[in-house]
Structure 1
């Protein structure tokens, strides 16, 4: 082509018609050359625009709604998570899947609310202990989700995503149907069993089916290798290795779940600056300065999140990466393990903590950023929950979700298109533990049943009713004054509950509710 341009420029013709023809040929050739020269950048731009977003989904463990700076925390510093909120959106009415670890994670991974989800409470897989020696388990793990459950990772594999789960799994051990490598994840690294995660200086972590021994750790208060640091290290490796293709990085960190443990450098930031107080220690390892230690865990995690955000930026992936941060349920209760949710006002003005279907046990933080797509420094009061994450991420990735899920995509809210946002008629929870509970959020109304499984409860089906617009602390039961609302909530509780043989709630498993 270049030789043709040279000939066209150097060749002269005396005949006018021929000269015009040559000039037209030259213009066409120049246009073609320009197109060819631009083609690589055009193709690259089109590929960039058509590539589905990378997804980094970070989940803390037992972090309260009020334990982040962007949600009003005074003592604990979380500048990097706050930056996600500042550069994106902060949700004020987002809910976990349930009040404790495993059932919440099941809702997130499968897009189903607790009335349909397979896992509905924490439940050790002791019935599978015969597999321990075969697969090298030291902890039994939790009851596994079955093969026919479709996870968020499997949904994204349809679009060619590289997938990793790094942190705490809790939905089935290796060698079972809940094995994360059988549920759509190319890489799993961390704690498979949540009991294993009760110490942040473990003797080993799992890399897929292999144990990775951590020298210098013996499951005491301190050690040589902090598990959180390993999670971050492997997450950074995964991002680097998959920077040229869409990736899904699921980071269910084990912080700030007990035991209270953090490297000395992180604890030193708070020691002497946060007042300590005598208390009666119960459960988990005892930390000498538990409030400072607890704050240090969260700030240490926040710093690691900063490293992840920094790498995404250095690789030029900011505009192609959706980052989401949330927590699996509310904060810990009764100074267990030295925790102090009252001092930190961990649940803010809300009633209840971990294990409770009152607001403090299930309303959790959610912040997200995606430059060029999510408006910076925005806030949403859209009602949504863990089971909405699957259809939301699937829509943004351009892939399909399985039939029978309960989630509704809130992608329109993320993208600043509220007119396109579909709403839930209600959000539903059930929890066959901590006395047995049911709850429904319906607009401003919150209906809840408590102590459904306690002996000698004269009315296990009684519904408490709260107007959350006027009473976020759920202190004033207005059921008697609003019988029509109570009946609507009773109907919702009945239609949302599918009985489970594994997790029965006898008062509602029959026809009368």
Structure 2
């Protein structure tokens, strides 16, 4: 396939790995530790602050499942997002590229729905390389790396996709920042009732629990705790927002400035934690916990209602508050539990 002139440059590059940890996992095979390739479950929160989890000091938000994950593996105190914005971090994860090498046409926020904004199908990616190595690959949740008809997760190596394409989506009405329906099964629009955090958690759990052979790579991308500020019982808020979209969609990108509270933000994070608990339970029920690398982190620092303390700044800033994020890794077959590391780790390394 000939090189393309859109999206990320396609000149020869090193193998994208998403995480040095994954590369080291395969190095471990040569040392005779695991006898089979490990599964990979990569969980990405959206706009989560550094101190929004109990294991990172929160005294108001209850996150028992992520706290347990931290005690069973390594909690990094110097985890960094690839960017202080969403799309560059995600693209750096999938391609292994430094976000500064993205072409000028690929900008953040990734709002221009054109052929110039996305990951080209012929660019090597983490899912395409793992799929080529025999992995089953699936993404559940937020994509935000380009729009149809030009781009989708299925075109960069994911074999299964259920989720949304835009940078944010109403949790109940499943409409994007332009007020348009944004829930897809593969590349087909679908309608499904339910709170989005629960929908993608349950789909990921079902996928992991299915009786299938071979290693898997599951990318679970929450929109939580990104606006709109809707907890699991706020379906009426979703209907109100959709109504306002329909009246004047040109103001819809500003609707996230309305409402919200510390209490509502807590509901968003706690619902995500509960969903992650169900996914981890499915992993344990399938007998695959020991041989699965689980990574949890955020795409950038928190905004508005999040807690980035003790750091200055928030999402969009290049200060610590905008780029330092929670980062947890668990791999029972290889990594000893109860570790805390101050080694700097960034999304694409």
TM-score, length basis structure 2:
0.78
Q: Please tell me whether residue 162 in structure 1 is matched to residue 119 in structure 2.
A: no
Structure 2: gaps spanning 5 or more residues: 1-32, 176-180, 235-253
Structure 1 residues 286 and 242, CA gap change in structure 2 (3 angstroms): farther
Partner of 2:233: 264
Structure 1 residues 295 and 188, CA gap change in structure 2 (3 angstroms): same
2: CA distance, partners of 1:69 / 1:262? 19
Task: Give, in angstroms, the shift of residue 175 of structure 1.
Answer: 2.2
2: CA distance, partners of 1:90 / 1:120? 31
Does the residue aligned with 2:163 lie in a helix, a strand or coil? strand
Aligned length: 291
Runs of 4+ that moved beyond 3 A: 117-120, 198-201
Alignment of 1:36-435 (within 5 A): 49-118=34-103, 119-127=106-114, 143-176=117-150, 178-195=151-168, 197-202=169-174, 205-215=183-193, 225-241=194-210, 243-264=212-233, 283-284=255-256, 286-287=258-259, 290-333=261-304, 340-341=305-306, 346-388=307-349
Query: Which structure: larger Rg?
Result: 1
Between stretches 199-208 and 376-385, larger displacement belongs to 199-208
2: CA distance, partners of 1:116 / 1:296? 37
Structure 1: gaps spanning 5 or more residues: 1-47, 129-141, 216-224, 266-281, 334-339, 389-513
Task: Give, in angstroms, the shift of residue 199 of structure 1.
Answer: 4.5
CA contact (8 A) 2:171 2:195 kept: no
2: CA distance, partners of 1:198 / 1:112? 30
Structure 1 residues 242 and 60, CA gap change in structure 2 (3 angstroms): farther
Task: Give, in angstroms, the shift of residue 311 of structure 1.
Answer: 1.1
Does the residue aligned with 1:379 lie in a helix, a strand or coil? strand
Does the residue aligned with 1:164 lie in a helix, a strand or coil? strand
CA contact (8 A) 2:50 2:325 kept: yes
2: CA distance, partners of 1:127 / 1:368? 36
Does the residue aligned with 1:65 lie in a helix, a strand or coil? coil
Does the residue aligned with 1:93 lie in a helix, a strand or coil? strand
> RMSD over aligned Cα, in angstroms?
2.2
Structure 1 residues 240 and 174, CA gap change in structure 2 (3 angstroms): farther
